[in-house]
Amino acid sequence: MAAESTIDALGQFELHPVLGQIGEALRFSQSPLFMLIAVVLVLAFLYLGMRPAAVVPGRLQAAAEIGYDFIHNMATDTIGEKGTAFFPFVFAIFFFILAGNYLGLVPYSFTFTSHIVVTVSLALLVFLVSILASLKAQGMKFFAHFMPEGAPVFLAPLLIPIEILSFLSRPVSLSIRLFANMMAGHVLLEVFAGFTLMLAGLGLFGPALAVAPVAINVALTALELLVGVLQAYVFAILTCIYLREAVAH
């Protein structure tokens, strides 16, 4: 991937048709392919994990149950009593993003969460669901939230635009956070891998020095494992917070 003297850090995010002729005809790139793999992995994890349905769970069943419980507690604790209605939505979002983040760490794979078009779609989905939920739960009172309670009326021309901008910034911050974290992590991995190749070609002491970027990459991979689950968690918990504000009152 990295050439002799330059590091092509962004080349890994380019989309190419996959699966030969069929992929070219359908414009089917790595991104939807890895989305499909992520969905299949999550469904297989739940299906295979829960198939034994043992009273004392094995390892896979325990993992599936912990995952279910974790999101269920998050949804019901944060959203409140109506949380169970939104639990499948939050669960799907969390595990889709988590699978996407972790699939991207497999060599030769593709990180679909590193494309802003994917994260914006997910964030807009959350945004629209929360607007529809609040319109259903609160009706026209929803628009009253743009004027903070107890504020003097003469400040309304200042406060209402600020509140509206704050509301509109939700999908932007959701999508930028996920996209930027994933892209930055993968660019870093690529840059240090490029350093390894460049140092290895530096004559006598080069190969010995090239060990250092490899060591850094090992540490970065561990950091990416943390960032991957953390970003999925932040996305899911913010979804819960927005839905709580939607169904409250």
Partner 1 sequence: MGAQDDLNVSSQTDKGAESFDRRLAEAEARMRGKSVKDDAATGTKDGNADYSAFGLAMRLGTEMVAALIVGVVVGYGLDRLCGTKPVLLILFSLAGGASGMLNVWRAVRNAQV
Q: Which of 84, 121, 173, 221 binds partner 1 (CB under 8 A)?
A: 173
The dihedral of CA 48, 50, 54, 60: what is its sign? positive
Asked if 180 is part of the footprint of partner 1 (rule: CB under 8 A), the reply reads yes
Site map (CB under 8 A) of partner 1, residues 72-91, x = contact: -xx--x--------------
Asked if 234 is part of the footprint of partner 1 (rule: CB under 8 A), the reply reads yes
Stretch that binds partner 1, among 4-12, 168-176, 194-202, 206-214 (CB under 8 A): 168-176
Asked if 248 is part of the footprint of partner 1 (rule: CB under 8 A), the reply reads no
Asked if 184 is part of the footprint of partner 1 (rule: CB under 8 A), the reply reads no
Asked if 238 is part of the footprint of partner 1 (rule: CB under 8 A), the reply reads yes
Closest distance of CB 33 from partner 1, Å: 28
Stretch that binds partner 1, among 101-109, 126-134, 156-164, 189-197 (CB under 8 A): 156-164
Residue that is written with structure tokens 């609160």 in the block: 138
Q: Which helix (H) or strand (E) holds 65?
A: helix 59-79
Q: Is 104 exposed, middle or buried (0-12, 13-18, 19+ CB in 10 A)?
A: buried
Closest distance of CB 222 from partner 1, Å: 15
Is residue 185 a contact partner of residue 177, using CB atoms and an 8 Å limit? no
Closest distance of CB 70 from partner 1, Å: 8
Helix axes 30-50, 59-79, angle to 10 degrees: 110
Among residues 179 and 192, whose Cβ is nearest to partner 1? 179
Q: What residues contact residue 239 under an 8 Å CB cut-off, 6+ apart?
A: 89, 90, 93, 126, 130
Q: What residues contact residue 151 under an 8 Å CB cut-off, 6+ apart?
A: 159
Q: Which of 84, 121, 166, 221 binds partner 1 (CB under 8 A)?
A: 166
- CA dist 13 and 191 (Å) reads 14
Is residue 104 a contact partner of residue 110, using CB atoms and an 8 Å limit? yes
Where do contacts with partner 1 occur on this chain (CB under 8 A)?
A: 54-59, 62, 70, 73-74, 77, 158, 161-163, 165-166, 168-170, 172-173, 176-177, 180-181, 230-231, 233-234, 237-238, 241
